[in-house]
C-alpha cells in the first residue's frame, strides 16, 4: 500500500530501558543495526501496527511496554533505486514513518527475537540514546536523527539533552 507520492506507510519504534538506553536489533545475515520498524497493514492504525511489529520483531507484548509518545508528523526517507525491486521502481519512492517512543516495563528476558516465523534480527543490545548512527544503513540515518531528536524531549530535560549528546556505544549486560 503506497500513498499517492509513492511512500509506504510504516512505523518505527524507539524502545528505551530504565536507563534511557535504546534497543537495537542486528539484521539477520547483515552487519547493520536498526530500530524495530515495519509497514502498516490495510485497516490498521499506526498504534496497532506498532504493537504488531513490536511483537513480531522483539516478542514483546503490550503489557511489557508503556507508550511515552510519538512523532507529530510522518518522517520520510527515499530508498535508493538499487534497493527497489524492478517492478516497483516507477512508483515506489520509500517509506513514511510515524515513530513511537516506548519504555520497557517488562524485563530483558521478555525479548524473544524468534517470536515470529520470519525473524528480522539475530542479535540485540542496549545502546546509549545518542549512539552514533554509522551502524545504520545510510539512507535511514536522517530519519533516525529526526525521530531521536523529536522524541528526546519526552525523556530528557534541556540540560540533560545537551549533556547526553556525547554519543557513546555502550555494550551493557542484560538487566536481571
Instruction: Give the alpha-carbon dihedral of 25, 28, 31, 33, to 10 degrees.
Output: -20
- At 126 the three-state DSSP class reads strand
Class of domain 7-106+119-164: alpha beta
Q: Are 58 and 111 in contact (CB under 8 A)?
A: yes
pTM: 0.86
Report the distance separating Cα 37 and Cα 54, nearest Å. Answer: 8
| Domain ranges within the chain, ordered by starting residue | 7-106+119-164
- Along the 176 residues of the chain, how does pLDDT read in single tens digits? 888 899 999 999 999 999 999 999 999 988 889 999 999 999 999 999 999 999 999 999 999 999 999 999 999 998 888 778 777 777 888 999 999 999 999 999 999 999 999 999 999 999 999 988 888 889 999 999 999 999 999 999 754 444 444 444 443 334 43
According to DSSP, residue 142 is labeled H
Report the distance separating Cα 75 and Cα 98, nearest Å. Answer: 7
Report the distance separating Cα 173 and Cα 109, nearest Å. Answer: 12
Amino acid at each position: 500500500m503506497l500513498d499517492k507520492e509513492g511512500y509506504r506507510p510504516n512505523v518505527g519504534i524507539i524502545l528505551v530501558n530504565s536507563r534511557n538506553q535504546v534497543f537495537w536489533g542486528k539484521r539477520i545475515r547483515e552487519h547493520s543495526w536498526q530500530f524495530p520498524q515495519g509497514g502498516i497493514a490495510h485497516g490498521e492504525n499506526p498504534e496497532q501496527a506498532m504493537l504488531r511489529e513490536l511483537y513480531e520483531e522483539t516478542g514483546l507484548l503490550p503489557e511489557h511496554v508503556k507508550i511515552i509518545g510519538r512523532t507529530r508528523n510522518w518522517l520520510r526517507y527515499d530508498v535508493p533505486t538499487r534497493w527497489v525491486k524492478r517492478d516497483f521502481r516507477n512508483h515506489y519512492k520509500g517509506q513514511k514513518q510515524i515513530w513511537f517512543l516506548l519504555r520497557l516495563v517488562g524485563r530483558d528476558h521478555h525479548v524473544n527475537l524468534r517470536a515470529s516465523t520470519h525473524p528480522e534480527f539475530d542479535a540485540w543490545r542496549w545502546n546509549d540514546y545518542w549512539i552514533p548512527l554509522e551502524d545504520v544503513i545510510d539512507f535511514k540515518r536522517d530519519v533516525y536523527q529526526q525521530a531521536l531528536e523529536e522524541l528526546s524531549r519526552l525523556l530528557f530535560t534541556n540540560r540533560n539533552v545537551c549533556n547526553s549528546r556525547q554519543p557513546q556505544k555502550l555494550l551493557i549486560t542484560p538487566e536481571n
